[in-house]
Amino acid sequence: MEIWKDVAGYEGLYQVSNNGRVKSLLRTNTGSDGLNRTFKEKILKPVHDGKGYFQVCLCRNGKAKMFLIHRLVSLAFNPNPYNKPEVNHKDGDKAHNYASNLEWNTGSENIKHAFDTGLMKPTKLIGEENPSSKLTEKEVRYIRENYIPRDKEFGTEALRKRFGVSQQCISKIVNFKVWKNVI
């Protein structure tokens, strides 16, 4: 059963439901020209915010403001006794703005949930798995095994040119500052 509650700060103007819908309420406003205009009750059409979340535009006293629907639903239906700042979608789907699918979280709890459910993948890929890597493990081993300081054939400058990397990269490899997993 869908339950409607006033949007805090917009009482008498807008309501939000436990199913994640927002509606404007029937009202009459007097315009700057002195004429009365009646606005019918209607369900607002949500729009994407560019990050996958849905939002709606609410107006009050001639000023419009965008609100994330999941936050409106949580503010109206989900208690927040620990004053947590973020709202998490339990099932990971940003389109499911049902009160039963939302919970208050901290930023770290939200991120942990994203990793636990596979919504986020670790971005720190090491070695050849890192898409920005220019070298293979075999090449790193070769550099470490053959490096001779200031040598014309196996020095930093020669190895830099051979593998198309910087002198700093060669230095970090031979000093085990990078590619620590390769021995």
140 and 103 in a common domain: no
Query: What is the C-alpha separation between 91 and 101, in angstroms, rounded?
Result: 7
134 and 112 both lie in a single domain: no
pTM above 0.75, yes or no: no
Read off the CATH number of the domain in which 94 is found: 3.90.75.20
User: Quick check: is 111 in a domain?
Assistant: yes
Q: Is residue 182 part of a domain?
A: no
Distance CA 29, CA 84 (A): 37
- Based on the domain organization, do 21 and 104 belong to the same domain? yes
Do 9 and 48 fall into the same domain?
A: yes
User: Is the same domain home to 90 and 161?
Assistant: no
Looking at the structure, tell me whether residues 11 and 50 fall in a common domain: yes
* Per-residue pLDDT at 129 exceeds 90: no
Domain holding 108, by residue range, is: 4-116
- Position 125 confidence tier, pLDDT thresholds 50, 70, 90: low
Residues 81-120: tens digit of each pLDDT? 999 999 999 999 999 999 999 999 999 999 999 988 888 8
Q: DSSP string of 28-54?
A: EEE-TTS-EEEE--EEPPPEE-SSS-E
Number of domains in the chain: 2
| 94 and 156 belong to one structural domain | no
Same domain membership, residue 95 and residue 31: yes
Task: Single out the residue in 96, 116, 136 at which a domain terminates.
Answer: 116
Q: Does 85 share its domain with 33?
A: yes
- The three state secondary structure string of 96-150 is CCCHHHEEEECHHHHHHHHHHCCCCCCCCCCHHHCCCCCCCHHHHHHHHHHCCCC
Same domain, 148 and 63: no
Residue 56 domain flag = yes
**pLDDT grade for 71, boundaries at 50, 70 and 90:** very high
